[in-house]
Amino acid sequence: MSDLSIEERVKRIIVNQLNVNEEQVVPTAHFLNDLGADSLDTVELVMAFEEEFKAELQGKEIPETDAEKLMTVGDINAYITSKM
Amino acid sequence: MPTSSAPERVVVTGIGIITSIGHNITTYWDNLLAGTSGITRITTFDPTDYPSQVGAEVKDFDAKQYMDPKEVKRNDRYSHFAMAASREALKDAILDTTKLADASRFGVIIGSGIGGIETMEKQAMTLFEKGPRKVSPFMIPSLIANIASGIVAIEFKAQGPNFGVVSACATSCHAIGEAFRFLQRGEADVMLAGGSEAAVTSLGYAGFCAMRAMSTNFNDEPARASRPFDLNRDGFIMGEGAGVLVLETLSHAKARGARIYCELAGYAATCDAYHITSPDPEGKPLSKCITQALADAKIKPEEVDYINAHGTSTPYNDKFETLAFKRAFGEHAKTIAISSTKSMTGHLLGAAGAIEAAVAIKAVQTGEIPPTINYETPDPECDLNYTPNVKIKRKVRVAISDNLGFGGQNAALVFRALD
């Protein structure tokens, strides 16, 4: 398991997937409005989070209805934490 | 602008090339004249279990030099090549597309024979190993064979005619021809036209090997494997890469003071309507295609100096193509310089037409003709002048490039020195 915090692991995935700088990945940053993502990117992001946080999510996929609401970096951090 | 019913004249003002023997037109041309083969043992996958183990891979290629890193990740290798060749073509044409007066008169037709096969391969694995919810949302947009035209248009704000052509190995010959028509009809001022292919993958090789279409006798001597018109040819060698031309109406090119390579004067397309993969054994529809392209250009067969042949190095293609040339040109066929540069580049499938049109264009511009390398043993059934092994110098006023695709689809382009 990773020694990194949830926030750090979320940040790493976003930087990698969206090709943005770490400094841009603040809790209030909105995927579409601030981080240059499009609707296809957000689908892929959710898949990447499911993969990274398999243990925390008990191997479950993030339901469509939840995924639609995860629009900022902070939303993701809170969501993962709430599932632990 | 269209002022009368007479078609606009069309010229070539830029060439972009990504191949195993050059990532720009200058290097590519120098290597072709020198007779340099780009064919080596396959490195992108382990070819040990494959009957054919050699290919013309594009090496030392960094897609990030040509497009945004995020876009690199979202697109297939075939689109990376298309973007790189488009950028090279515009650079060669010294054309700043942001200065074009009307974006709706700037179009893109870049085709692919197969499209993003590497993407399909990887995503099929994901589907079978991890299930349908793990398939990437980028799979469909990155594998479709028209997306190269789409992303190039986004990059350069080209809002004119835009689609992909798919006609297997004749793809980019058709793409250039169709772009030519839009310009002739006055519906565009500038067109990027060509093709891109990245099928040197395990699935691509397995498929073509299963057809017995690829060379298998020269796995230990890769540079000798592609030998069009030679008696001991035994199949094609796959290559990858892209070719893109900048085509403009003559008036548009003159108005901006562009360097003009030559005129694109004629185009035609026909179909064998004979068999899915074997060419017509009498070569009639291909000869008709060449004859029609010449008529389109209002050029007599006797005026043709050079043909860049499809010359795939398969037993059938080279024999029947030779027959078609004899049908189209009669006695004059013997005096035409012919060469197949696939002997060096391998067969780039959907990109072949564009990188070979580039050879015809450069031949008109420079009066130099690249050879057919590995031509060692004459085949009695291939008895024309194939420019064996060494380049020649010859005044080339008119040059043809022809291509044949699976499906029996033929296309030919006629290039002419601008008066």
Q: Which residue of chain A has the CA closest to B133?
A: A47
Which residues on B lie below 8 Å from A48 (Cβ)?
Answer: none
Chain B residue whose CA is closest to A37 = B70
Whether residue B69 and residue A19 make contact (CB cut-off 8 A), yes or no, is yes
Neighbours of A82 (CB within 10 A): 8
> Would you tell me how many other CB atoms lie within 10 Å of the CB of residue B50?
18
Tell me the C-alpha distance between B374 and A16, whole Å: 47
Kindly report, residue by residue over B11-70, the tens digit of the pLDDT. 999 999 999 999 999 999 999 999 999 999 999 999 999 999 999 999 999 999 999 999
Report d(CA B343, CA B371) in Å as an integer: 9
Q: Which residues of A15-33 are buried (b: 16+ CB within 10 A; e: fewer)?
A: bebbbbeeeebeeebebee
Please name every residue paired with B268 in a beta bridge, in sequence order, or none if there are none: B412
Secondary structure of residue B101 in the 3-state scheme: coil
Annotated catalytic, A3?
no
Q: Are B375 and B389 in contact (CB under 8 A)?
A: yes
Contact A47 B138 (CB under 8 A): no
Percent of chain B having pLDDT more than 90?
98
| Cα-only R_g, chain A | 12
pLDDT at B4 over 80: no
Half-sphere exposure of B93 (CA within 13 A, CB side): 29
- Number of A–B residue contacts, CB under 8 Å: 18
Option in B68, B69, B138 nearest A44 (CB): B138
Average pLDDT over residues B187-207: 98
Query: How many CB atoms sit inside 10 A of residue B399's CB?
Result: 27
Among B139, B135, B133, residue whose Cα is nearest residue A67: B133
- Least CB–CB distance from B137: residue in A36, A43, A61: A43
CATH number, span B10-255: 3.40.47.10
Q: Which residues pair with B308 in a beta bridge?
A: B339, B401
C-alpha to C-alpha distance for B56 and B4, rounded to whole angstroms: 47
pLDDT above 70 covers what percent of chain B?
A: 99
Residues whose CB falls within 8 Å of the CB of residue B182, separated by 6 or more in sequence, listed in order: B107, B109, B160, B161, B188, B191
Instruction: Give B291's contacts (C-beta < 8 A, 6+ positions apart).
Output: B268, B301, B328
For the record, the structure tokens of B239 come out as 């290559």
Is the pTM value of this prediction over 0.90? yes
The burial class, CB within 10 Å (0-12 / 13-18 / 19+), for B207 is middle
Say whether B70 and A40 touch across the interface (CB within 8 A): no
**By a Cβ cutoff of 8 Å, what residues of chain A touch chain B?**
18-19, 36, 40, 43-44, 47, 61
Per the structure block, which two tokens stand in for B43?
């490195």
Same topology between domain B10-255 and domain B265-416: yes
B42/B238 Cα distance (integer angstroms):
10
ipTM of the complex: 0.88
How far apart CA B353 and CA B356 sit, in angstroms, is: 5
Determine the topology of domain B265-416 in CATH. Peroxisomal Thiolase; Chain A, domain 1 (3.40.47)
Give the integer Cα–Cα distance in Å for A36 and B176. Answer: 35
B133–A47: do the CB atoms touch at under 8 Å? yes
Read off the pLDDT band of B5 (50, 70, 90): confident
- Domain extents in chain B: 10-255, 265-416
Which chain B residues touch A19 with a CB distance below 8 Å?
Answer: 68-70, 73
Question: Which one-letter DSSP state was computed for residue B383?
Answer: -
The verdict on a CB contact (< 8 Å) between B70 and A36 is yes
| Confidence (pLDDT) at B233 | 98
SS3 A60: coil
Which residues of chain A neighbour B68 with C-beta distances below 8 Å? 19
| Facing residue for B136 by CB, picked from A18, A19, A44 | A44
With beta carbons under 8 A apart, name residues in chain A contacting B119.
none
- What torsion, rounded to 10 degrees, do the Cα atoms B351, B354, B355, B358 define? 180
Low-confidence ranges of chain A (pLDDT < 70): 1-2
The closest alpha carbon to B387, from B414, B407, B360, belongs to B360
CB-based contact B89:B15 (threshold 8 Å): yes
Res. B3: pLDDT tops 90? no
Pair A32, A71: CB distance under 8 Å: yes
Confirm if B73 and B158 have CB atoms less than 8 A apart: no
Query: How long, in residues, is chain B?
Result: 419
pLDDT above 90 for B338: yes
Burial class of B128 by CB neighbour count within 10 A (0 to 12, 13 to 18, 19+): exposed
Query: What does the pLDDT average to over B63-78?
Result: 96
